[in-house]
Amino acid sequence: MFMYFEAMAVAVDSLIAGQFVVIEEYLEGDKIRRQFTGILFTGIMMARNGPKVLEYDARFRDTETQTMMMLLAPECDLAAVLLACSTGKLNTVSIPVLPGYACSIVDPADGYPQSLSKGNIITLLSPLKVAVYFSLID
């Protein structure tokens, strides 16, 4: 899996307009008539003829979230953001982000996700100026 995120890669108004358009199309298409409270990640590709949805994801994990979290500014109060989101008051908090780029690369073990191989050796290159996270290792 691979995820790339660039803070402010497109004009904010274009992105917001695109988000509303594609989410509205999704809600209309599926005839969903209920209130959604939570985080809906919308993987959007900006195509020549406007935004196109690659995926919807309501989980707060995986490479999408991990990548975006790297660009949250240190002063961002994530707990306050999540509380505001869960209580319908997201418009009362700010979400400061750092300028720049973030990239996540996931290299799962052989057999993922059905039967993971064990005993693999993980070798990293010389010291990198990156954040490295591991999961499901002994």
Q: Which pTM does this prediction carry?
A: 0.55
- Residues 6 or more apart whose CB falls under 8 angstroms from that of 114 comprise none
- Residue 126 tokens, joined: 């010389």
pLDDT, tens only, 38-61: 666 777 766 777 777 777 777 666
User: Sign of torsion, CA 49 9 63 130?
Assistant: positive
Q: What is the pLDDT of residue 103?
A: 74
- List the domains of the chain with CATH numbers: 2-105 (3.30.470.20)
Distance CA 67, CA 133 (A): 12
Can you give the pLDDT at residue 77? 94
Dihedral sign of CA atoms 55, 60, 61, 63 in order:
positive
pLDDT grade for 76, boundaries at 50, 70 and 90: very high
- Average model confidence (pLDDT) across the chain: 71
- pLDDT one-digit tens code per residue, 82-102: 898 888 888 899 888 888 877
